[in-house]
Amino acid sequence: PSKSPRSYTITLLPGDGIGPEVISVAKDVLLLAGSLEGIKYDFRERLIGGAALDATGVPLPDETLSAAKESDAVLLGAVGGYKWDNNEKHLKPETALLGLRKELQVFANLRPASVFPQLVDASTLKREVAEGVDLMVVRELTGGIYFGKPRGFDTNENGEEIGFNTEIYAAHEIDRIAHAAFKIARKRSGKLCSVDKANVLEASMLWRKRVTAIAQEYPDVELSHMYVDNASMQLIRNPKQFDTIVTNNIFGDILSDEASMITGSIGMLPSASLGASGPGLFEPIHGSAPDIAGQDKANPFATVLSAAMLLKYGLEEEKAAQRIENAVLDTLNRGFRTGDIYSTGTKLVGCKQLGEEIMKSVESNV
Ligand code: ATP
Ligand code: MG
């Protein structure tokens, strides 16, 4: 839907809690980095989550959904908070996220986990192990055991209660996530590790077969396979051996949370969810942090880095993305920190001021 190749419509969904604070910073940074690369934006801000529930009675209004679908990319803050915790299940702010992902048909969830040299002490791992970690988990998001049928509760032949689920992957579902992962690995260091349980599960056997076949189309990417139990151990033992990891929905859910703990800084971690065509969804992995909302204490880096992913993976604007990534490193190098990543000897600032410092770094582009 772009008016011209260098002009993009971006839907902004600030949401709840610290969402509006971090989105405001990310919007300014996107604008500046874009303008330095000749990019124009048409920003459309819409309601989602608790904010939408209060204003319209539903967490994901049709109007928000249609705006998102018609844009080139969607940047989301966070949804939820204490205020809506006792709501009926289908009206919970969090259901807006599931609805949005489903409607945008984003089947590839990208979760980078990078240990910034300036923040290595925040890692849960020893310095020698954590230093230099820079990996990406590509999780299949719309298939597998979370959606497979039959599922439900029943009683077995002994009259005992049972709960059951089904892991199903069709070849085309594996193929499309594999293609996405190979392309991402190619943009990174050219190493892809596919994680499965092909020694036990048929869905994993098919997974391994398809991924191996598709590798023929990417001779420049070095493919390896690992069983998920080993991968979860290797992530803690020696995370530096990984660059890009591709895996199914449930293994990716677990491994991406494990990987994020390696960095130890939830306020620094972005994510992207991509489909075959159509807009991608970009958001920080942290929640709405109601405990610090409205106090100018939020760390905007995760959302700013999500904006960089929006440029890189959503719009193929790699130069502008690189400007933002450089600016984040430069701002850290100049010592500016919000409370969650503060350590003695660094400069404690609020969300707004950190935003201004990031802008200065974008401008000077070191
Ligand atoms: P979710 O909403 O994903 O279920 P949650 O509500 O348990 O997760 P968060 O909202 O991410 O978790 O907050 C967890 C903790 O991390 C809180 O103490 C919060 O203040 C802190 N936190 C989260 N994001 C940030 C941020 N961007 N800056 C500073 N602190 C943050
Ligand atoms: Mg939350």
With a cut of 70, say whether residue 231 has pLDDT above it: yes
Catalytic residue, from 229, 291, 319, 347: name it: 229
CA of 298 to the centre of ligand 1 (A): 9
> Does residue 188 sit in helix, strand or coil?
coil
Model pLDDT, residue 268: 97
Structural tokens at position 336: 């500016």
Name which of 300, 316, 310, 305 is nearest 270 in CA terms: 305
Substitution candidate for ligand 1 out of 286, 296, 341, 354 with most atoms within 8 A of CB = 286
Q: Is the CB of 80 under 6 A from ligand 1?
A: yes
> Does residue 62 sit in helix, strand or coil?
helix
> Does residue 15 sit in helix, strand or coil?
strand
Residue 146 is a catalytic residue: yes
Q: Rounded to an integer, what distance in angstroms lies between the CA atom of residue 118 and that of residue 225?
A: 32
H-run or E-run covering 76: strand 73-78
Q: Is the CB of 249 under 6 A from ligand 1?
A: no
Query: In this prediction, what percent of the chain has a pLDDT beyond 90?
Result: 94
Q: Report whether the peptide linkage leading into residue 150 is cis, meaning its omega lies within 30 degrees of zero.
A: yes
Backbone angles phi, psi at 192, to 5 degrees: -125, 130
Model pLDDT, residue 366: 64
Task: Look at 30-34, 121-125, 335-339, 360-364 and tell me which has the smallest mean pLDDT.
Answer: 121-125
pLDDT band at 88 (very low <50, low <70, confident <90, very high): confident
Please, which residues have CB within 8 angstroms of residue 211's CB and are 6 or more apart in sequence? 174, 178, 194, 223, 225, 246
Model pLDDT, residue 320: 97
pLDDT digits (tens, 9 = 90+) for 41-82: 999 999 999 999 999 999 999 999 999 999 999 999 999 999
Angle made by CA atoms 23, 40, 304, in degrees to the nearest 5: 25
Q: Is the CB of 271 under 6 A from ligand 1?
A: no
With a cut of 60, say whether residue 22 has pLDDT above it: yes
Model pLDDT, residue 365: 83
Q: Is the CB of 185 under 6 A from ligand 1?
A: no
First to last CA, the chain: 33
pLDDT digits (tens, 9 = 90+) for 100-145: 999 999 999 999 999 999 999 999 999 999 999 999 999 999 999 9
With a cut of 90, say whether residue 87 has pLDDT above it: no
Mean of the per-residue pLDDT values for the chain? 96
pLDDT band at 4 (very low <50, low <70, confident <90, very high): low
State the Cα torsion 231-185-104-260 to the nearest 10°: 40
Q: Is the CB of 197 under 6 A from ligand 1?
A: no
Model pLDDT, residue 30: 98
Model pLDDT, residue 269: 97
Q: Rounded to an integer, what distance in angstroms lies between the CA atom of residue 173 and that of residue 277?
A: 15
With a cut of 90, say whether residue 89 has pLDDT above it: no
Alpha-helix runs per DSSP H in the chain: 19-36, 50-56, 62-69, 95-104, 127-130, 171-187, 202-214, 228-237, 249-263, 301-309, 318-333, 351-364
- Contact of 48 with 42, CB cutoff 8 Å: no
Residue 197 is a catalytic residue: yes
With a cut of 80, say whether residue 343 has pLDDT above it: yes
pLDDT digits (tens, 9 = 90+) for 160-190: 999 999 999 999 999 999 999 999 999 999 9
- Contact of 355 with 28, CB cutoff 8 Å: yes
Residue 253 is a catalytic residue: yes
> Is the backbone of residue 121 left (phi > 0), alpha (psi -120 to 50) or beta?
alpha
Q: Average the pLDDT over 26-30 and give the result.
A: 98
ipTM of the predicted assembly exceeds 0.85: yes
pLDDT digits (tens, 9 = 90+) for 282-296: 999 999 999 999 999
